[in-house]
A and B are shown apart, each in its own frame.
Chain A
Amino acid sequence: MAIVKVCGLETEYGIVVRGVDSNPVTASSLLINSYLADLSSVGFDVESERPGADARGRELSWEPDPDVDSLLVNAMLTNGARYYVDHAHPEMSIPEVADAREAVVWDAAGDAIVRRSMELANRVLPDGAEVIIHRNNSDGKGNSYGCHENYLVDRGVPFGLVVRGITPHFVTRQVFAGAGKVGSERPGRTTDEVGYQITQRADFFEEPVGLETTVKRPIVNTRDEPHCDPERYRRLHVIVGDANMSEVATFLKVASTAIVLAMIEDDAMPANTELADPVADIRRVSHDPSLRATVEMADGRRVRAIEVQWELLAAATSWAQRHGFDAVGGEEVGALALREWEQVLTGLDTDPERVADVVDWVAKRRLVEAYAARHDLRPGSARLRAIDMQYHDLRPQRCLAARAGLRRITTDDEVRAAMTEPPGSTRAYFRGRCLSIFGDAVVAANWDSMVFDVGSGPLRRVPMNEPLRGTESMVGNVIDSSSSAGELLRRIAG
């Protein structure tokens, strides 16, 4: 039986500051520290390392500070997310969630937190200066940064089976999950040849399987760091995707991947979906928005990417009839996933314009092509690249995705709540609620443990090796009815 596909998303945002000299590390620190300072001013606790936050009274600054640069900001929030500086980008890791719909809600909450951080950081900057955040994956000049996904996988399934089963999905899911890009960053492939492509990221993948994430990027990443019981689980760390602006695209990307992984665990994969040369295929598919490009199967057949997706969907449908949707969030979410999956493939197969309200690369292409026609612009011109970039701009007054007519599946209220509240469905509930209620006593909050100082005796470490323990139904009452961290720890130990 497939295990529940607990999952998460990690988004690295593009960042620039206009109007003052700054570097991306300092700017990212300012962005996040501005948000954390505002939280504590309204009584929210976070568990954080905030280098530079209290030293010498220079809490918030855009000026490069060597101390700050060497010690990066890193905070756990009361919604169970981690908000931090990674390399030279602000990054949001949403809390662990139990299904794809929850992933979309906390992902949207992550964006809302980053937007709020922008507003707050701009108050610290001099007049006329501003920090600008893009939810994209490339600067158009050969530098890429990721939107990673994580899925809980049964350690008992040989990793080779996971690789074999998931690779065809990673190569072909881009037809609905690609975020679109003007031009090519593939050495030797000019924009004259590739005026527009399906993904932000396909140009950067060079290996079928590997450990790297910043060079020689692999389609399947082998990082083995489960952040939970390593005897029972793997965390499949997925680096091959784009950051989507479309909520439905994020939903489909996560839901379809969770379903395929559950099918692998249940030995329900269709036969003969293996690809002969996935690295060449992932680029060929991305570089052909007409969707006519074919991939070569290991058995010699040549089929279009979308046909591989139809095969996976057919297998998923019969898998669900036999096994139900327990592993992917239950009947409602699972049925919605299959319905959306079928609708998007039907739309792409007949007239992609029909799914311009769901598929980012289609929505973006519509803007790019219409704008090029109106202003008589060449493919790949700087103004078309600007439209590409501004599609991902998180400033509400500039964001083009917000104007493109994308269908939403979240409500403003649930997203606002998810900025401070954890999901009830995973251990993130315990982490977030403890930070919320007993934040003063929390010494350290990690994915798989928390450390408390209850005022007397040694520090107390609470291991959280099971992602599905510490949920609202398991610990909600005991947290709410404990008057101190000490009492809570006594009660959960007993």
Chain B
Amino acid sequence: MSESMHEQRRSSSQDEATEVEPPESTRAEELRDELDELLDEIDEVLETNAEEFVRSYVQKGGE
């Protein structure tokens, strides 16, 4: 998550917000763009054989 989103979250939760909130549509667009970037990154870092990795992942019970 980028700094800008952190900033937005923080200001929207403050009672005495001094910054002017961006209009809803701009914020929604920013959120969408940011999620798109994150999804691109997930495509890059997800295990190449993700399905096979999941299928073969077996743990013994613990505790």
Contact with A along B21-56 (1 / 0, CB 8 A): 000000000000001001101100111001101110
Distance in Å from the Cβ of B35 to the closest Cβ of chain A? 5
Question: B63–A405 contact, CB under 8 A?
Answer: no
Distance in Å from the Cβ of A17 to the closest Cβ of chain B? 12
| A87: interface (CB < 8 Å) | yes
Which of A144-152, A166-174, A272-280, A428-436 interfaces with chain B?
A144-152
Distance in Å from the Cβ of A160 to the closest Cβ of chain B? 24
Question: B62–A366 contact, CB under 8 A?
Answer: no
Which of A93-101, A104-112, A385-393 interfaces with chain B?
A385-393
Question: A370–B39 contact, CB under 8 A?
Answer: yes
Question: B53–A214 contact, CB under 8 A?
Answer: no
Question: B1–A404 contact, CB under 8 A?
Answer: yes
Query: Who on chain B is nearest to A141 by CB?
Result: B58
Note all chain A residues with C-beta closer than 8 A to B38. Answer: 367, 370, 403-404
Cross-chain contact of A398 among B9, B45, B59 (Cβ < 8 A): B45
Question: B51–A89 contact, CB under 8 A?
Answer: no
State which size class the interface on B falls in.
20 to 34
**Dominant SS among interface residues on chain A:** mixed
Query: Who on chain A is nearest to B40 by CB?
Result: A374
Cross-chain contact of A146 among B39, B54, B62 (Cβ < 8 A): B62
Question: Within the assembled complex, what's the spacing in Å between the Cα atoms of A382 and B51?
Answer: 5
Question: B59–A89 contact, CB under 8 A?
Answer: yes
Cross-chain contact of B59 among A24, A354, A386, A387 (Cβ < 8 A): A24
| A206: interface (CB < 8 Å) | no
Question: B59–A385 contact, CB under 8 A?
Answer: no
| B13: interface (CB < 8 Å) | yes
Contact with B along A47-86 (1 / 0, CB 8 A): 0000000000000000000000000000000000000001
Contact with B along A337-370 (1 / 0, CB 8 A): 0000001000000000010010000000011001
Query: Who on chain A is nearest to B32 by CB?
Result: A370
Question: A370–B53 contact, CB under 8 A?
Answer: no
Distance in Å from the Cβ of A393 to the closest Cβ of chain B? 9
Take A14-B59, A405-B5, A405-B6 as given contacts and tell me if A390 and B47 are in contact as well, using a CB distance cutoff of 8 Å. Answer: yes
Note all chain B residues with C-beta closer than 8 A to A24. Answer: 59-60
Question: Within the assembled complex, what's the spacing in Å between the Cα atoms of A371 and B46?
Answer: 11
Cross-chain contact of B57 among A16, A86, A217, A407 (Cβ < 8 A): A16
| A461: interface (CB < 8 Å) | no
Question: B62–A140 contact, CB under 8 A?
Answer: no
Query: Who on chain A is nearest to B60 by CB?
Result: A88
Question: B62–A400 contact, CB under 8 A?
Answer: no
Question: Within the assembled complex, what's the spacing in Å between the Cα atoms of A390 and B57?
Answer: 12
Distance in Å from the Cβ of B32 to the closest Cβ of chain A? 9
Query: Who on chain B is nearest to A144 by CB?
Result: B61
Query: Who on chain A is nearest to B59 by CB?
Result: A139
Cross-chain contact of B50 among A148, A213, A354, A383 (Cβ < 8 A): A383
Take A12-B63, A354-B9, A387-B46 as given contacts and tell me if A405 and B58 are in contact as well, using a CB distance cutoff of 8 Å. Answer: no
Question: A382–B63 contact, CB under 8 A?
Answer: no
Question: B1–A213 contact, CB under 8 A?
Answer: no
Note all chain A residues with C-beta closer than 8 A to B13. Answer: 343, 354
Note all chain B residues with C-beta closer than 8 A to A138. Answer: 59
Take A343-B13, A397-B45, A398-B47 as given contacts and tell me if A145 and B54 are in contact as well, using a CB distance cutoff of 8 Å. Answer: no
Question: Within the assembled complex, what's the spacing in Å between the Cα atoms of A89 and B59?
Answer: 9
Note all chain A residues with C-beta closer than 8 A to B54. Answer: 140, 382, 385-386, 389
Q: A14-B59, A144-B63, A398-B45 are in contact. List 7 more A-B contacts (CB 8 A).
A: A89-B62, A140-B54, A370-B38, A383-B50, A383-B51, A390-B47, A400-B45
Give the 9 A-B CB pairs with smallest separation, nearest first: A405-B1, A145-B62, A386-B50, A382-B51, A88-B60, A213-B63, A139-B59, A12-B62, A146-B63
A→B interface (CB under 8 Å): 12, 14-16, 24, 86-89, 91, 138-141, 143-146, 148, 213-214, 217, 239, 343, 354, 357, 366-367, 370-371, 374, 382-383, 385-387, 389-390, 397-398, 400, 403-405, 407
